[in-house]
């Protein structure tokens, strides 16, 4: 697969090879833009067990879930 195809398919902008924006002097700006994209994606990754459980809609409790516990489609584990 040619370089940049995966990024383009994922909707990320490509660094131009020509023109004003393709000049070497803008390299630092492009590197920082890429780091911003990485930070945006990293912020969406859950942290810790509660974060992962919430992201995949898994909940746990000591009794049967009531009508107000959780949301539709959530997995409920009963702890005994």
Spans of all domains in the chain: 1-45, 47-80
CB atoms within 10 A of CB 58: 14
What is residue 70's predicted lDDT score, i.e. its pLDDT? 65
pLDDT band at 36 (very low <50, low <70, confident <90, very high): very high
Q: How many CA atoms does the CB half-sphere of 55 hold within 13 Å? A: 10
Q: Is the pTM of this model over 0.95?
A: no
pLDDT digits (tens, 9 = 90+) for 38-68: 999 999 999 888 888 888 877 777 777 777 6
């Amino acid at each position: 697969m040619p370089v940049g195809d995966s990024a383009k398919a994922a909707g990320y902008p490509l660094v131009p090879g020509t023109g004003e924006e393709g000049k070497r002097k803008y390299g630092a700006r492009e590197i920082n833009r890429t780091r911003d994209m990485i930070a945006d994606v990293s912020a969406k990754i859950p942290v810790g067990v509660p974060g992962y459980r919430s992201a995949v809609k898994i909940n746990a409790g000591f009794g049967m879930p009531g009508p107000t516990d959780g949301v539709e489609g959530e997995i409920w584990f009963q702890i005994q």
